Amino acid sequence: MKTKRAVIVQCRLSSSRLPAKALKNLGGKPVLTWVLNAMKKVKADKYYVATDEASFSALEPICRKNGFECFAGELDDVLKRFCDLIKKIKVDTIIRATADNPFLFYEAAQASLDEFEEKNKGRHPVDYLTYTGLPHGSGVEIINARALLKAAEETDNPYDHEHVGPALYNHKDNYNCEFIKAPVRFYNPDLRTTIDTFSDYLRALTIVNYLGQQNKPYTTEQIVDACKSDYVNNPVILVPSVSKGQGTGHLHRCLTAALEAKFFVYIPKDSTLSGINTIIDEYREKGLDPSQIIDELPDNSYSPVIVTDCFSMSREQAALFYNAKKLISIDEGSDFCDYCDYLLDIIPSYEAQRIANAFDTSYIKKPQNVRAERTLNIENVLVCLGGEDPAGLTLPAAQALTRVLPGASITAVVANPEQYQNILNINFVPPIENLREKIYEYDLVVSHYGLTSFEALFAGCAVIMLATTKLHENLAQKYDFAFIPQGKIDAKKMQEALASEKLFPKPEQIENMNMNLSQKSLGTCLSKLASGQKLLCPVCRTKPAQPDIIVSRNEGRTYRRCRSCGIVYMSYTAEEDKEYKKAYFFEDYKKQYGKTYQEDFDSIKKQCVRRLEIIKSLSQDGMSQNYLDIGCAYGPSLAAASELGFSPFGTDISEDAVHFVKNKLHYPSCCSAFPELDPEKEFGITKFDSISMWYVIEHFKDLNSVLEKISQILRSGGIFAFSTPSGEGVSAKSNPGHFYKISPTDHYSIWEPSKAQKILKKFGFEVVKIVSTGHHPERFPSVIKDGVKPGSLRWKMVDKYSRLMELGDTVEIYCRKRF
Ligand SMILES: [Zn+2]
């Protein structure tokens, strides 16, 4: 019987870039199974996998299980392999796919097959048809089998023989080949779903994690949705410390977060941490997928968000991770904190020199099993230095305990218990699984400064810390723990620690550490941080070779100073973009200033009159005719300009505002997302005499194109003026942490008057006047401290001082275009 249509999936295991990729595990199934399940949805009479002899035995069972027959043919002459199969099954039409595409658009495949057959009913039959613009790795080819056999006979070009389609479409004189732009539903040329490299494989894993398991192939919409999701676009790779001597706390914390939020954990093959596989197995039992543990990092084609939890990054790590999409670090103690987009501190630290974005002990996983009451009669003791003990403190501590507490049961955690068989009265055990929930069974826990100590504290055990360094001694002291100083451990020191009144953690101790008893999910927190935005210097727009200087960090954002141009900018934000719709001028404005924008119209207009008089006085010919206000909002500055004899023009991103200006105030204005504005088209003007931006410049992520555009549409000698919050006012100077914390989330640059000239010069402007505005005596530290009354003599003096020293919280900068 003749076969009308056959699906043929081409597959081989000898890929050099990613060997045996068709067999790689993807959500519990081999990649090939995904391909076959998708292609089975295409309506055909026969379903084949075409492979080579060497791959046959590994692939055949998978084919059989999924309703495909397996055909072995030539390894390198793929064209011959196809032709041999065609001759065998006597088929008319081939639907060809390759086995490295687990997320094939089977709906697009069916649509293109229908289109192929429709065309072949007509007067212009086609030999080959495929859709273009599908995600890279979603496409299939529809081929006329007879034409392919003929083409194979005609060509001896090696390239044609290594592939299939080229035998037809590289010989278009002889064959009718159609490349058709895919229907809108399938058209996503920027997406990539194929598996060609390790990075591709990681992406495929995230797509499956995002969509979850289902018993039918994913639809086009599901795949596109996944590819555009934050989770798939910001793959999180946790990098715990896994080198000998730094404990297992970091690894436990990362595996917990990986389990919570389906992150990857990077564990290099040469990891020297003892007991690492036992720990990983513990989490696999809880549901961690084997594919979440990776020993290779993806390349730039799938740049990850790196989250380090490794105590202290090395120079090499810092340099490597600086190239990642984003770098977030937990409890980072190295000198490379400037490389990090975000710093999260979880464990209380000792006088860290740098400020973290956030410090929150709620992310310490608290034990659920806690002791009902304190036991002064200590019978059950655990000595646990994190499964590792580089300083060799476990044995001397346990021995000292046998002398001081002769009746007690002493358990000591060591990597190799069998080495300690002959030491009496101590129960040596390997690292304890799920210790967090078992720690409450011990009356006393002896450990060093780290997660185990805090878990013991939260479980209500007595705790003695063993200091391995001066720093740990300081930490134990600062946070009121009973401890044994660094050096030799003996019975006398142990006795002293046991007698310490700090043996049991007290509530005030927890408060001193700023500890939070509540529990938050680190995985959820990191997911949110990973989808945050990283921003470049808005003026230079290039990634510097060295990270820019940190100015301020707070919970939502990080600010830096560009090493090249000197501007202060938001370099990372976890907050969402604002939309400048009606609500921005009404609800949002009211929230910030206590009245609506329109209620404020007259007072804003008054300010604009003052500013425009300055512009007028600075204009060399004394007159500024055509005046453009960018971000004109509801038009107060246009109204002011009109009164002063200017011809005002306005533009704003808010349609509602532009509508008001046009129809109520009757000034020419247009809706535009500056710098996308064509003033000649909109207003019939190519160069303005003056341009202003009142509290607008700080809202642009790309200032370079904004300032270039302004320079381009301002006549030489014309005035460009803007107002903006000042990075050198009293608020910024006296309490920068607070200033940046309350800076609106959509202010991407902070202007410092003293740096403005250098930045503006790049765009051909010369600063001709700076006016310090927004004077607030009540924001001066001395006024706050002494409770100075508004209107008093001292108040007035501070106000005068603020004006004299230009300490206003806002600033107006006026510049002239030089050429
Ligand atoms: Zn810059």
Mean pLDDT, residues 692-710: 97
What's the 813 CA to ligand 1 centre distance in angstroms?
A: 19
Answer whether residue 157 shows pLDDT above 70.
yes
What's the 763 CA to ligand 1 centre distance in angstroms?
A: 13
pLDDT band at 580 (very low <50, low <70, confident <90, very high): low
Helix (H, G, I), strand (E, B) or coil at 145: helix
List, for residues 183-235, the tens digit of each pLDDT value: 999 999 999 999 999 999 999 999 999 999 888 999 999 999 999 999 999 99
Burial of 508 by CB count in 10 Å (0-12 exposed, 13-18 middle, 19+ buried)?
A: exposed
> Under a CB-based contact definition with an 8 Å cutoff, are residues 432 and 383 in contact?
no
Mean pLDDT, residues 165-178: 93
pLDDT for 78 equals 92
What's the 715 CA to ligand 1 centre distance in angstroms?
A: 26
pLDDT for 790 equals 93
Answer whether residue 308 shows pLDDT above 80.
yes
pLDDT for 623 equals 57
How big is the chain, counted in residues?
A: 819
What's the 756 CA to ligand 1 centre distance in angstroms?
A: 12
What's the 816 CA to ligand 1 centre distance in angstroms?
A: 21
Least confident of 269-278, 288-297, 771-780: 269-278
What's the 345 CA to ligand 1 centre distance in angstroms?
A: 29
pLDDT for 351 equals 62
**Cα(745)–Cα(179) distance, integer angstroms:** 47
**Cα(547)–Cα(569) distance, integer angstroms:** 13
pLDDT for 622 equals 54
Helix (H, G, I), strand (E, B) or coil at 82: helix
Least confident of 343-347, 387-391, 665-669, 746-750: 387-391
pLDDT band at 47 (very low <50, low <70, confident <90, very high): very high
Closest CA relative to residue 509, chosen from 333, 345, 348: 348
pLDDT band at 669 (very low <50, low <70, confident <90, very high): very high
Mean pLDDT, residues 757-782: 95
pLDDT for 245 equals 65
What percentage of the chain exceeds 90 in pLDDT?
71
Most confident of 188-202, 353-367, 615-629: 188-202
> Under a CB-based contact definition with an 8 Å cutoff, are residues 335 and 266 in contact?
no
Helix (H, G, I), strand (E, B) or coil at 509: helix
**470 vs 809 pLDDT, higher one:** 809
pLDDT for 387 equals 61
Which residues 6+ apart lie within 8 Å of 441 measured at CB?
380
Residue listed under structure tokens 């093959």: 269
Two tokens at 551? Answer: 């100015």
**Rg of the chain on CA atoms, in Å:** 35
Mean pLDDT, residues 493-520: 79
List, for residues 721-768, the tens digit of each pLDDT value: 999 999 999 999 999 999 999 999 999 999 999 999 999 999 999 999
Which residues 6+ apart lie within 8 Å of 623 measured at CB?
616, 689
Mean pLDDT score across all residues of the chain: 91
pLDDT for 393 equals 87
Distances (CA, A) of 104 to 79, 179, 196, 291: 22, 18, 14, 22
What's the 632 CA to ligand 1 centre distance in angstroms?
A: 27
**Cα(152)–Cα(164) distance, integer angstroms:** 9
What values do phi and psi take at 167, rounded to 5?
-55, -25
What's the 805 CA to ligand 1 centre distance in angstroms?
A: 27
pLDDT band at 649 (very low <50, low <70, confident <90, very high): very high
**Cα(814)–Cα(32) distance, integer angstroms:** 65
List, for residues 381-407, the tens digit of each pLDDT value: 999 986 667 778 888 999 999 999 988
What's the 719 CA to ligand 1 centre distance in angstroms?
A: 23
Residue listed under structure tokens 């030089």: 818
What's the 571 CA to ligand 1 centre distance in angstroms?
A: 11
pLDDT for 139 equals 84
Answer whether residue 511 shows pLDDT above 70.
no
List, for residues 364-374, the tens digit of each pLDDT value: 888 889 888 77
What's the 692 CA to ligand 1 centre distance in angstroms?
A: 22
What's the 543 CA to ligand 1 centre distance in angstroms?
A: 9
Answer whether residue 18 shows pLDDT above 90.
no
**Burial readout 215-252 (b: 16 or more C-beta within 10 A, e: otherwise):** eebbebebbbebbeeebbbbbbbbbbbbeeebbbbbbb
C-alpha triplet 189, 192, 193: angle, nearest 5°: 130
Burial of 594 by CB count in 10 Å (0-12 exposed, 13-18 middle, 19+ buried)?
A: exposed
Report which DSSP code applies to 244.
T
pLDDT band at 507 (very low <50, low <70, confident <90, very high): low
pLDDT for 296 equals 93
pLDDT for 713 equals 96
pLDDT for 601 equals 87
Closest CA relative to residue 760, chosen from 716, 708, 811: 708
What's the 739 CA to ligand 1 centre distance in angstroms?
A: 21
What's the 718 CA to ligand 1 centre distance in angstroms?
A: 25
What's the 549 CA to ligand 1 centre distance in angstroms?
A: 11
Least confident of 43-52, 127-136, 520-529, 570-579: 570-579
Most confident of 93-107, 237-251, 342-356: 93-107
Report which DSSP code applies to 634.
T
**516 vs 344 pLDDT, higher one:** 344
What's the 568 CA to ligand 1 centre distance in angstroms?
A: 8
**Cα(108)–Cα(457) distance, integer angstroms:** 59
Strands of 452-606, DSSP E:
462-466, 482-484, 533-534, 549-553, 557-561, 568-573
> Under a CB-based contact definition with an 8 Å cutoff, are residues 274 and 280 in contact?
no
What's the 567 CA to ligand 1 centre distance in angstroms?
A: 6
Least confident of 77-86, 99-108, 358-367, 545-554: 358-367
